[in-house]
């Protein structure tokens, strides 16, 4: 086994949306795209007062990729033009395949707007290969107790497995999300002094973002709100806990295809982007009246 080394650390920039605290490591000043990982917004942590307006993400379109939303604190109401609706609470996840296009809304539920409380939510965008960009949209929302829990390093670490497979001590754990590509995704918490090894296929690009706490990789100290870009050689990642920490950890095949983006649309050519804009403006994504 050969551990991958850190190539570069990308610091998340502060880019608040109104009163919503937001950090964004991808894209950022030092990185545009980490194939197939497109975008990450880290909202919060913050506390909302009673009778608040909640999150500001009313109806908007997407085409050509997938979104994964991690609700670490608070709750999130989803509705889309494919007639999917859910309210997911702390510890849960939403996985949406925009595919050929839909309109969706992500806002705070009525109870959260009325009562307030803690909120921390992250949204990750994952590119789709050309052959899947026009696939039928779909959505899965799962609560915390529907995700797979895996103990790491004799209880000094913990993995919430969302998608993909993880082998440990003769057992194979499988995440509940059925993905269109061989994507692995998890949320990992580790304690100070822990040491975990995470296998990664050599043709996969890693997504590793430190949400809270401090870790060590390749003898390099890494603080919160940093995205870690790894060298491509190696078949595992070795992470040490230098304090209690939470991180997003995933990996997926590199697409190695042209990528053209325009706001909420990610395609392979400029002509496909123009078609997406035209389809949305002419109502071909469907409508959304809920939420």
- Domain ranges within the chain, ordered by starting residue: 9-253
251 is in an annotated binding site: no
10 is in an annotated binding site: no
Please tell me the pTM assigned to this model.
0.96
> CA 249, CA 37: separation in Å to the nearest integer?
12
Low-confidence ranges of the chain (pLDDT < 70): 289-291
**Contact assessment for residue 195 and residue 202, using Cβ atoms and an 8 Å cutoff:** no
- Arch. (CATH architecture) of 9-253: Sandwich (2.60)
pLDDT at 291: 36
pLDDT tens digits along 230-274: 999 999 999 999 989 999 999 999 999 999 999 999 999 999 999
State the Cα angle at 71 between 127 and 277, rounded to 5°: 35
Structure tokens at 212: 């809270």
pLDDT at 288: 74
pLDDT tens digits along 50-82: 999 999 999 999 999 999 999 999 999 999 999
**Contact assessment for residue 64 and residue 266, using Cβ atoms and an 8 Å cutoff:** yes
**Contact assessment for residue 61 and residue 285, using Cβ atoms and an 8 Å cutoff:** yes
């Amino acid at each position: 086994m050969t551990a991958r080394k850190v190539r570069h650390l990308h610091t998340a920039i502060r880019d608040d949306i109104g009163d919503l605290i937001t950090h964004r490591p991808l894209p950022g000043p030092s990185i545009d795209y980490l194939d197939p990982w497109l975008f990450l917004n880290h909202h919060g942590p913050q506390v909302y007062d009673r009778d608040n307006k909640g999150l500001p993400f009313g109806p908007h379109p997407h085409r050509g990729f997938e979104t994964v939303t991690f609700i670490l604190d608070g709750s999130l109401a989803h509705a889309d033009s494919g007639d999917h609706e859910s309210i997911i609470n702390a510890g849960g996840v939403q996985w949406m395949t925009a595919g050929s296009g839909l309109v969706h809304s992500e806002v705070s539920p009525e109870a959260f707007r009325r009562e307030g409380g803690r909120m921390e939510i992250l949204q990750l965008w994952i590119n789709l290969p050309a052959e899947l960009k026009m696939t039928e949209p779909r959505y899965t929302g799962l609560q915390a107790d529907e995700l797979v829990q895996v103990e790491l390093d004799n209880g000094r670490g913990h993995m919430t497995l969302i998608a993909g497979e993880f082998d440990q001590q003769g057992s194979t754990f499988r995440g509940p999300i059925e993905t269109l590509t061989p994507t692995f995704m998890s949320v990992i918490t580790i304690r100070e002094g822990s040491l975990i090894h995470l296998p990664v296929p050599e043709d996969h690009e890693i997504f590793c973002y430190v949400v809270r706490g401090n870790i060590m990789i390749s003898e390099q100290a890494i603080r919160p709100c940093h995205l870690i870009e790894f060298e491509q050689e190696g078949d595992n990642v070795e992470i040490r806990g230098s304090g209690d920490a939470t991180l997003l950890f995933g990996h997926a095949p590199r697409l190695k295809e042209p990528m053209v983006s325009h706001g909420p649309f990610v395609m392979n050519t400029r002509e496909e982007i123009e078609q997406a804009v035209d389809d949305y403006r002419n109502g071909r994504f469907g409508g959304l009246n809920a939420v």
